[in-house]
Amino acid sequence: MVTIKDVASAVGVSPTTVSNVIRGNAGRVSPEMIERINKAIEELGYTPNLSARALVSSSSHIIGVINHLVPSESGGFFQDPFHGALLSGIEETLRQKGYYMMMRTIDSCADLMSLLNNWNLDGLILTGIFPSEFFTQLLRQDTPFLLVDSYVLDEVPQVRLEDRTGGYLGVKHLLEMGHRRILFCGPPIYEHGVLRERYKGYCDALQEYGLSPCREDVYGVEIGVDRSAALGRELAKRRDYTAIFATADILAAGLISGLNDEGRHVPEDISVVGFDDLNIARLTSPQLTTVHQDVTLRGCAAADMLIAHIENKQEAVHTITMPVRLVERQSVKRLS
């Protein structure tokens, strides 16, 4: 087995220098020497022993990505295209930085502590966090962590989105197209969550046009193909509205399918605006008008920020709020 000493001997440097290059801590090593070391690593087929490195440095270079919302449909979290894009960005950045990703769904404090006690994780990235006993336990433990899609506590490092602006833009577009009775469809709304912010944007747009939100126009449903389509079939029975704002593209796609099952067509009968601008938005029929966000880039930003905090870099930032914009396609009809 090739060792770090073999690599060091091949290029005439100390094992410490090779180790620093491998760990990305090569500030005092010349670019030419870094290139020679990396070439020797490739030619010799050297693979770092992560277990041994963890024992020496107390660092595993493993980041846990934790989903706290148990999916209502089998495989829902992994099949959800939003989380797929987010994980793609996280994994790509971690890989480039020499870290590894562990993915886990955890719904209890006991499971959280079991994970932390049994795995030497360098950090955690969590989605779907609200004020709860789970979050309180998270604050008590020592592993650095970062939140994605949460408004639970400003003092915690996090990557946010212009969620309220996104809700406003989507509903404002429907209003500009002549719609006045607009339904709000998304997962259940919790305080300090992204859905609360998007609902505030929905209300902002309505109020700008002198309209008031109606409780009966707000629908909460867990995101999933079957549940979304079922809600679409239910909404097809109503005749007192002309448009729907859906808080996720996968939800919008299911609504379109369910409406169509009952003979209500988009946009001829009902106009629909989604949120995310994932690939599915261009695969629906008609293609979906939606609020665009760069989900993969959010994953990259989350991984970069957490690593900077773990490594105590001076440039580490505390909060990032990423922009949104409206993308118009064919799912909205202009009313006369």
Edge-to-edge strands, sheet with 271-276:
218-220, 182-186, 243-246, 271-276, 289-292, 325-327
DSSP E strands in 149-296: the ranges are 158-161, 182-186, 218-220, 243-246, 271-276, 289-292
Question: For residue 87, what pLDDT band results from cuts at 50, 70 and 90?
Answer: very high
> Where on the phi/psi map is residue 128: left (φ > 0), alpha (ψ -120 to 50), or beta?
left
Q: For the chain, where do the domains classified as CATH 3.40.50.2300 start and end?
A: 62-160+295-322, 163-293
Question: For residue 170, what pLDDT band results from cuts at 50, 70 and 90?
Answer: very high
* pLDDT surpasses 80 at 314: no
Topology given in CATH for the domain delimited by 62-160+295-322: Rossmann fold (3.40.50)
Q: What is the pLDDT of residues 20-62, one digit of tens each?
A: 787 666 667 888 888 898 888 888 888 766 545 544 456 789 9
- Note the CATH architecture for domain 163-293: 3-Layer(aba) Sandwich (3.40)
Give CATH for domain 4-48: 1.10.260.40
How far the first Cα of the chain sits from its last, in Å, is: 75
The residue among 107, 85, 88, 69 whose CA lies nearest residue 250 is 85
